[in-house]
């Protein structure tokens, strides 16, 4: 693989011969659906005042993040599929790392905040409006974006000055762990920081999510039938989204940390793209089909029906 003023991707991922135009069209259609469905739900939430509730405002933040994450990968991926030269400049590679890691972290923060919101709504309904005020919603949304921003900037700043002893990226997109592994010094401060951050912050958020759903399940089993139905109807989409994102993140970590050379390239590509494809695809369907208020608003906006 020739060095082309930056980093180069392994040809094994992008040289798909006569199938490249078909793959290009499929990925383009997926990307267009992600953009259209997420933008639609953002507009629906913004224009309807009845949806200006904490749960829907958190959803709006979630949909914005889906647009951000998919747009940090798909346009460049489409260019690489059609291109004969699969390379990327070092600054753009680090920009892609920032965007994708930002997407993953904001998604996780958003899901944790939404878990806390559902916990208050189900377990403390009488205090919900006072605890989840508009100012609190704004603070939680801002923190969900600002804390990951600071964390990712620190991580990349620890890695960007490293001297690389290789330039071939055996992945579909730039990955901080893999770029750090190309460093001449081996294990870098960026990797150590990533491990500390994961175990201190992300595991704390996972513990918060686990705690809230244990409490929600306790209410579901001990409460009235009406309470149980309300909890299930509002929590099912969020729980499905959480499980889907957890699987996608697990596949991404699995590929980064372990040797997957024996796995067929097609499977490796699908697993590596899962977290940034299925989540933006699934969330609009989950929340658009499961939440009655969104369904009613969509029918009113487009068909004049209630």
Q: What pLDDT score does 247 carry? A: 83
Give yes or no for residue 184 having a pLDDT over 90: no
Answer whether 49's CB lies under 8 Å from 295's CB: no
Q: What pLDDT score does 60 carry? A: 93
Is the Cα torsion angle 154, 155, 156, 161 positive or negative in sign? positive
Per-residue confidence at 111, pLDDT binned at 50, 70, 90? very high
- Measure the CA angle with vertex 92, ends 91 and 96; round to 5°: 120
pLDDT, tens only, 62-103: 999 999 999 988 988 888 777 766 677 778 888 888 999 999
Per-residue confidence at 7, pLDDT binned at 50, 70, 90? low
Residues in a beta bridge with 164: 183
Burial 126-164 (b: 16+ CB within 10 A, else e): eebeeebeeeebeebbeebbeebeebbeebbebbeebee
Answer whether 305's CB lies under 8 Å from 299's CB: yes
Q: Distance of CA 246 to CAs 73, 103, 141, 202, Å? A: 19, 14, 21, 12
Q: All domains of the chain, ordered by start, with CATH?
A: 7-303 (1.20.1070.10)
Give yes or no for residue 142 having a pLDDT over 90: yes
Closest to 172 measured CA to CA, from 269, 279, 72, 276? 269
Q: What pLDDT score does 45 carry? A: 87
pLDDT, tens only, 125-137: 888 989 999 999 9
pLDDT, tens only, 206-220: 888 889 988 888 877
Show Cβ contacts of residue 221 under 8 Å, excluding neighbours closer than 6 positions: 228
Q: Mean pLDDT for the chain?
A: 80
Q: What pLDDT score does 107 carry? A: 92
User: Which has the higher per-residue pLDDT, 186 or 104?
Assistant: 104
pTM of the model: 0.86
């Amino acid at each position: 693989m020739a060095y082309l003023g930056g980093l180069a991707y392994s040809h094994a991922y992008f040289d798909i011969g006569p199938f490249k135009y078909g793959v290009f069209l499929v990925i383009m259609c997926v990307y267009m659906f992600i953009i259209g469905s997420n933008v639609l739900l953002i507009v629906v939430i913004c224009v309807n005042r009845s949806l200006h509730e904490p749960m829907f405002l958190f959803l709006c933040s979630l949909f914005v993040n889906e647009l951000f994450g998919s747009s940090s990968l798909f346009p460049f991926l489409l260019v690489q599929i059609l291109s004969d030269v699969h390379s990327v400049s070092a600054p753009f590679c680090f920009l892609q790392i920032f965007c994708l890691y930002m997407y993953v972290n904001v998604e996780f923060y958003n899901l944790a905040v939404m878990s806390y919101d559902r916990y208050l709504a189900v377990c403390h309904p009488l205090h919900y409006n006072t605890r989840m005020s508009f100012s609190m919603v704004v603070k939680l949304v801002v923190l969900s974006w600002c804390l990951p921003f600071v964390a990712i900037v620190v991580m990349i700043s620890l890695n960007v000055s490293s001297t690389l002893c290789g330039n071939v990226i055996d992945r579909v997109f730039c990955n901080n762990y893999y770029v750090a592994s190309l460093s001449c010094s081996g294990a870098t401060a960026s990797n150590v920081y990533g491990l500390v951050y994961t175990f201190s912050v992300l595991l704390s958020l996972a513990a918060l999510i686990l705690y809230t759903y244990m409490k929600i399940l306790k209410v579901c089993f001990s409460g009235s039938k009406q309470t149980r139905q309300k909890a299930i109807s509002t929590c099912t989409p969020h729980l499905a989204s959480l499980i889907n994102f957890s699987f996608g993140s697990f596949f991404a970590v699995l590929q980064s940390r372990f040797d997957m050379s024996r796995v067929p390239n097609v499977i490796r590509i699908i697993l590596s793209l899962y977290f940034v494809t299925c989540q933006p695809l699934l969330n609009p369907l989950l929340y658009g089909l499961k939440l009655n208020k969104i369904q009613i608003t969509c029918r009113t906006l487009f068909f004049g029906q209630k």
